[in-house]
Every structure is written in structure tokens, then in C-alpha cells.
């Protein structure tokens, strides 16, 4: 692998693109041979507009000359891009985080001319024997190129349901941070681009030398190893809704900890039947009440673990469990990490 093509769309997160370029530059400074780690930025136009008002010079895609051993890297497709003249599906300046991941907006962004062109480029490069890599919303282009069919893949955890609906042949696991399957490499949310680039640099340099370069880069840029997105998923629901039943239910559970009420008791407190409570929660979050109870427990446990002054057993009792064994089962299920790892992997609140 001798050359990286960073394929950038308008609106792509500047941090994701900048991290890619910084990792490549630091890899060279840390001993990676220039012939192994070379790169260029490509886009639909000579200058690409990134998030936050930043811009970057780029090689127009029609001028690209891609060798089969090049690595095509797509760090997102710019979900914050605005539609021209108010076209349906585009965002306004005050768009919320849920609007950013709305089905209509994702479909609109995938239909844009640059997304269509980039997907075609990815398909052609892979067919010629090249490696194609993407993170976050860039993985949608892999799906458009047909490169997810029958392959294991990941992307931003908020896009998991969307990918399953529109690219049903993908073997998808949005808990994973990085997945490689037959020259198609996918990574999670935008900052998983860091993990992706480190992986690609290690492969490009190769062997023990590649591992040494990556370790140096991680040390100088203060990058920690992360294998899963799962522990971030418990902080938000996957679906937005005007019905506040789920929020009221969670607030009730939070207030009652460590004494978790039964579903029937919670429903009565909220002025509805158990069946109505379950139906409303399912409609707004796609989850069952017990799943939300576990979400609240997990969220509260993470806060307590981050503070660092309670034992695992004490944290377990604070969230309604008899001992640390039950808490361990919860964290392994919801975050794929034991409590001790979560404690050391989180910053204490200020």
C-alpha cells in the first residue's frame, strides 16, 4: 500500500479530515517510509468546504490517477450539508442532532451528485483490486457501491438501523469500532477515523516496523485504543419522538434508584396502564420498559464508576443490584466491558 487517497465531500467534519492528515504526517515523522505513506486529498471540486467554515485544497476526482495498490479513504459524506434552494431533505443552520440522522436527510444526502460519484469510484477501485475504507456516514457510500453485501461492517451507532433497512445484505454490527473484510474496511463514528487511519498506517508500513510507528503516533497524539462503540450507545435513544413518556419513565427510575419500581407501579405513577406504558415506550424508542430500566442503571453506574471513590459492589448496590456480579453482567451486555475497564476508560466529571 503506497498511496492514500482521502476522498472528501462538502460538509465533512473538519476534525475527521484533519485527524487523517495529522496521523499520516506524524507517521512519516515517526519513521514511516515516504514511499509507504504518501497521500493526496481528492474532492468533487478543487476546494472542498468542511464543517465549521473550514476549506481545503483538493485534487478534482476527474483528475485522479489511482493505482490498484492505493487505499481509498472516505471520512464521511458531510451530513451537515445544506440543500440548495431549500430542497427537501437538506438541513437548515439550526438543525438538531436527530434531524442530522433522520431517514429523509440521509436519503437526500446519498442521492447528491458527489455521493453518487464517490460510490462509483469506490466500486471501481475495489473491482480493480484496491482497498476501500470509510468511517461514520462514509460507510453509506460503501453500501451504495455494493461493497457491504455479504461483508462484515460497522459505522456510527446512530446509523445502524438505517443500514439494516437499506443495505440488508450487510453483516452489520454497529458496536464494533473497526471491521475489515476482503479489502473493505469500515469504522464507527467520526473520531473512529483515528482508529481507521492508525490501522491503515500499520498495514502500509507492515510488520514490527508498522506496529512501532503506530505506537509512536499514538503516544505523541495521546490516542487510546478503543475496540467498541457500545458504551456510548446507552446515552441516547435511537429514535426521536414528541411523546415524552420514555423520558418521564426514565426520570422516575432515576429518582427511585436503588429501589427500582415494577412496570405496573411505574405505569400507575405515570397515570396509565402497563400496556399503554409499554406501547408508548416502544413507539418512541423501539425498546421495552425493562431495556430503559437497564439503560438508566447503566448510565448511573457509569457516573459512579467515573467518580472512582466507590467499589464495584457499592456501585452495584446504588443501582439496585445485590452485588458486583450482577453489575458486571449489565456492563458486559450493554457496553461489552467489565466495570473496572469502564472506570479506567472514563474521565471523572468536573
pLDDT tier, 52 (very low <50, low <70, confident <90, very high otherwise): confident
Mean pLDDT of 233-254: 67
pLDDT tier, 235 (very low <50, low <70, confident <90, very high otherwise): very low
121 is written with which cell numbers?
A: 469510484
Which three-class secondary structure state does DSSP give residue 132? strand
Per-residue model confidence (pLDDT) at position 246: 84
Task: Name the least confident of 1-10, 117-126, 167-176, 227-236.
Answer: 227-236
| Residue 285 confidence (pLDDT) above 80 | no
| Residue 69 confidence (pLDDT) above 50 | yes
Domains of the chain: 3-231 (3.40.50.880), 236-345 (1.10.10.60)
| Residue 92 confidence (pLDDT) above 60 | no
Mean pLDDT of 277-294: 86
Smallest CA-to-CA distance from 42 within 78, 17, 16 is with 17
Smallest CA-to-CA distance from 74 within 42, 49, 52, 51 is with 42
CA distance 272 to 100: 33
pLDDT in tens, 129-138: 999 999 999 9
Task: Specify the DSSP class assigned to residue 60.
Answer: E
pLDDT tier, 308 (very low <50, low <70, confident <90, very high otherwise): confident
| Residue 348 confidence (pLDDT) above 50 | no
| Sign of torsion over alpha carbons 113, 129, 12, 156 | positive
Q: Mention every residue, 6+ apart, whose C-beta is less than 8 A from residue 148.
A: 139, 142, 163, 167, 169, 170, 172, 184, 186
Per-residue model confidence (pLDDT) at position 90: 53
| Residue 240 confidence (pLDDT) above 50 | no
Q: In DSSP terms, which residues pair with 42 in a beta bridge?
A: 7, 59
Task: Specify the DSSP class assigned to residue 90.
Answer: P
H runs (alpha helix) in the chain: 14-29, 97-100, 103-111, 113-127, 139-144, 160-166, 192-205, 207-221, 230-233, 245-256, 263-269, 274-285, 289-307, 312-318, 324-335, 339-345
pLDDT in tens, 262-284: 999 999 999 999 999 999 988 87
pLDDT in tens, 110-147: 999 999 999 999 999 999 999 999 999 999 999 999 99
Per-residue model confidence (pLDDT) at position 238: 40
Per-residue model confidence (pLDDT) at position 83: 52
343 is written with which cell numbers?
A: 472506570
CA distance 167 to 267: 38
| Residue 345 confidence (pLDDT) above 60 | no
| Residue 1 confidence (pLDDT) above 50 | no
Smallest CA-to-CA distance from 30 within 193, 204, 220, 207 is with 220
Amino acid at each position: 500500500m503506497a498511496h492514500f487517497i482521502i476522498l472528501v465531500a462538502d460538509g465533512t467534519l473538519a476534525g475527521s479530515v484533519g485527524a487523517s492528515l495529522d496521523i499520516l504526517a506524524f507517521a512519516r515523522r515517526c519513521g514511516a517510509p515516504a514511499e509507504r505513506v504518501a497521500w493526496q486529498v481528492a474532492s468533487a471540486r478543487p476546494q472542498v468546504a468542511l464543517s465549521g467554515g473550514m476549506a481545503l485544497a483538493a485534487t478534482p476526482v476527474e483528475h485522479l490517477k489511482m493505482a490498484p495498490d492505493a487505499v481509498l479513504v472516505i471520512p464521511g459524506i458531510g451530513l451537515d450539508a445544506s440543500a440548495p434552494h431549500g430542497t427537501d431533505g437538506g438541513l437548515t443552520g439550526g438543525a438538531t442532532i436527530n434531524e442530522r440522522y433522520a431517514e429523509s436527510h440521509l436519503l437526500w444526502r446519498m442521492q447528491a451528485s458527489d455521493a453518487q460519484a464517490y460510490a462509483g469510484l469506490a466500486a471501481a477501485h475495489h473491482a480493480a483490486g484496491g482497498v476501500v475504507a470509510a468511517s461514520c456516514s462514509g460507510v453509506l457510500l460503501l453500501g451504495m457501491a455494493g461493497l457491504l453485501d455479504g461483508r462484515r461492517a460497522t459505522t456510527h451507532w446512530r446509523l445502524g438501523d438505517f443500514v439494516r433497512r437499506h443495505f440488508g445484505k450487510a453483516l452489520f454490527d454497529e458496536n464494533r469500532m473497526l471491521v475489515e473484510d476482503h479489502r473493505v474496511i469500515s469504522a464507527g463514528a467520526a473520531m473512529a477515523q483515528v482508529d481507521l487511519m492508525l490501522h491503515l498506517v500499520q498495514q502500509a508500513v507492515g510488520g514490527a516496523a508498522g506496529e512501532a510507528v503506530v505506537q509512536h503516533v499514538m503516544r505523541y497524539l495521546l490516542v487510546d485504543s478503543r475496540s467498541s462503540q457500545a458504551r456510548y450507545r446507552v446515552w441516547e435513544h435511537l429514535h426521536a419522538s414528541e411523546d415524552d413518556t420514555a423520558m418521564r419513565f426514565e426520570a422516575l427510575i432515576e429518582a427511585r434508584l436503588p429501589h427500582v419500581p415494577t412496570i405496573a407501579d411505574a405505569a400507575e405513577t405515570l397515570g396509565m396502564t402497563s400496556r399503554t406504558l409499554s406501547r408508548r415506550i416502544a413507539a418512541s424508542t423501539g425498546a421495552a420498559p425493562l431495556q430503559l430500566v437497564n439503560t438508566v442503571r447503566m448510565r448511573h453506574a457509569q457516573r459512579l464508576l467515573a467518580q472512582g471513590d466507590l467499589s464495584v459492589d457499592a456501585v452495584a448496590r446504588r443501582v439496585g443490584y445485590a452485588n458486583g456480579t450482577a453489575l458486571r453482567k449489565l456492563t458486559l451486555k450493554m457496553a461489552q466491558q467489565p466495570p473496572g475497564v469502564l472506570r479506567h476508560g472514563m474521565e471523572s466529571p468536573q
